Amino acid sequence: MSKSHVACEVSGALRRCRAGFLGVALLSGLINLLMLTGSFFMLEVYDRVLPSRSLPTLVGLIALALLLYAFQGGLEILRGRILARTGALLDQALGRRILELILRAPLRSPPGAAPTDASTLGEGLLPLRDLDTLRAFLSGSGPGALFDLPWIPVYLAICFLFHPLIGAAALAMSAALAAIAVLSEHVTRDPLRASTAHGATRLGLAEAARRNAEAVAALGMRERLIVRWCSANRDYGDTVLATSDTTGLLSNFARTLRTALQSGVLAIGAWLVIRGEATGGIIVAASILVSRALAPAELTIANWKGFVAARQAWGRLAAGLARVPPEALPHRLPAPAASLSVEDVSLVLPGNGRCVIQGATFSVGAGQGLGIIGPSASGKSSLARALVGVWPPMRGAVRLDGASLDQWTSASLGQHLGYLSQEVALFAGTIAENIARFEPDAPPEAVVAAARAGGVHELILRLPRGYDTALGEGGAGLSAGQRQRIGLARALYRDPFLVVLDEPNANLDAEGELALTRAILGVRLRGGICIVVAHRPSALAGVDMVLAVADGRVRAFGPKDQVLARVLHQGPAPDETTPLREVA
């Protein structure tokens, strides 16, 4: 996708918030005009009420000031509510794409890879945290301060109207605060980036330890992981403290300068009154006005940490969305029903560059079953991922009925695929929901049919609430074998044309392996294609073709008996050609 398209996608989220920003800008203008109430009230009291000793005038000024203050308070409440809803609108505009980024980005990284720094987007939940950072910033006081900044020249102009000396003092302090803001930008940018990186590492360690709590306890790794986490937590805390100390120092320095200037303006005003160049009301009015003129700059410096964090979060999200563009909507194709063909496919390990499959070519027709065998790390699982579109080929194509997989969207292709990975991933929800792939209003008969096809119907009925049994995260509450059999039923849901099973019998007992064989034969009998990646020959009982892989290359492809006799008993050398159907 072109950079301009990505830019349009990113800026589109802001364009949806444009009405809110315009409303905030308008309200900020009115609020800043009403901020003059205090200065002019004091000016009128000192220059009009006190000399005339007129109580009606004082009462009228008080009533008018209270009314203006009420309007000001109401407008500030309204501005805060608009900013909060603008943040929510931004969340809605980007939320779907952010979750898509979280789900798709790991497919572009090696299996099990962990992020090395905060710039490695898509690892873990960092994009979601970045979106939360943006929303929190928009809902805070930072944007209001930024919208108030353009009104500083107006206040300075009024200060010059009071007297050039007062205006010059306010202008000099504004320049000093601007320098502090520039310094704040310089000193907080890198520490904030580092704190984000350490925070991602810290959360990643905690999540990995929680997810593998059983292995951690059984292998005595708890203390070592705690020490490692404490080290990452210490690094995170140090960067957060360094950033907080710096921003706190600059913010307090700016506040001290503003307070000192306010007193200085009182002194200048008194001097001008003594010289007869100003009235008594100007002393207090100018002090209040200067304080108000510099308040947006002071508040901006106080919120600069959040501003830099939001800007960095926005940059990371923009970069992540650029790397994972939205899926195109190709022309809708008919359901595949005839063949699967792999044409000169070469696969590169995502995020690594290492070639794991080279020049694989074979084809399977409807009603056939294919077993993929080979030693560990030979590329079998990588090839399985390519067959279901998880990993796009670097070269060549995987085709269903002649159409390459990229001619389907993930949602439309998923209707025709069944996939069981080595690590069965079940989700928090009921068994029925997991089997139905969380399809809304899934037909109960289709769920039961899938369970029967996977040979797990009776097992489910023996559970406390049957199909309505609630599972914890990752399928907590079930044994590894039960999870694998329910994952098989999910792969068979709605009779997909192509079913790919990666080590489907790794955790199965004899009963489970018999059910697996029946499921494979069932797919073939209804005219589908079933592909099984296996180490144990028992998983190949239901297939009629075998593909042998070694060192990332297809070594043999043909009828099961011939290939197994050749590969399992004779063990061909890596460079040996085979008399079976040879694959280039």
List CB contacts of 93: < 8 A, sequence separation 6 or more.
12, 13, 16, 17
pLDDT of residue 115: 41
pLDDT of residue 439: 93
Q: DSSP code of 424?
A: -
pLDDT of residue 116: 38
pLDDT of residue 84: 87
Separation CA 383–CA 582 (nearest Å): 18
Task: Give SS3 for 372.
Answer: strand
pLDDT of residue 351: 67
Closest to 106 (Cα-Cα) out of 425, 380, 331: 425
Separation CA 236–CA 504 (nearest Å): 42
Query: What pTM, to 2 d.p., does this model score?
Result: 0.72
Separation CA 197–CA 312 (nearest Å): 12
Q: Are 336 and 498 in contact (CB under 8 A)?
A: yes
Q: Which CATH number fits domain 3-107+121-201+239-322: 1.10.3720.10, 1.20.1560.10, 3.30.428.10, 3.40.980.10?
A: 1.20.1560.10
Task: Give SS3 for 141.
Answer: coil
pLDDT of residue 398: 96
What averages of pLDDT result for each successive group of 10 residues across the chain (584 residues)? Answer: 49 77 90 86 83 87 92 91 87 85 72 41 69 86 85 86 85 85 82 83 81 77 86 87 83 82 81 80 80 82 84 85 80 92 92 86 96 92 93 93 92 93 89 94 95 94 93 82 93 96 89 92 96 88 94 93 77 40 35
Separation CA 370–CA 104 (nearest Å): 28
Calculate the CA 478 to chain-centre distance. 30
**Over 466-529, what HEC string results?**
HHHCEECHHHCCCCHHHHHHHHHHHHCCCCCCEEEEECCCCCCCHHHHHHHHHHHHHHHHCCCE
pLDDT of residue 109: 56
The residues that bridge with 346 in the sheet, in sequence order, are 395
Q: Are 393 and 347 in contact (CB under 8 A)?
A: yes
Separation CA 531–CA 533 (nearest Å): 7
pLDDT of residue 433: 95
DSSP string, 278-338: S-HHHHHHHHHHHHHHHHHHHHHHHTHHHHHHHHHHHHHHHHHHHHSPPPP-PPP-PPP-S
First CA to last CA distance, the chain: 33
Encoded tokens for 480: 């590894």
Domain ranges of the chain: 3-107+121-201+239-322, 339-570
Can you say whether the dihedral through the CA atoms of 518, 522, 523, 527 is positive or negative? positive
Vertex 272: Cα angle to 270 and 274 (nearest 5) = 70
List CB contacts of 551: < 8 A, sequence separation 6 or more.
378, 379, 574
pLDDT of residue 101: 84
Residue 422 CB: number of other CB atoms within 10 A? 14
Vertex 44: Cα angle to 38 and 48 (nearest 5) = 165
Task: Give SS3 for 361.
Answer: strand
Vertex 204: Cα angle to 203 and 205 (nearest 5) = 90
Task: Give SS3 for 357.
Answer: strand
Dihedral angle of Cα 58, 60, 66, 68, to the nearest 10 degrees: -120
CA contacts within 13 A on the Cβ side of 261: 29
Separation CA 322–CA 8 (nearest Å): 11
Separation CA 425–CA 387 (nearest Å): 19
Separation CA 100–CA 437 (nearest Å): 17
CATH topology of domain 339-570: Rossmann fold (3.40.50)
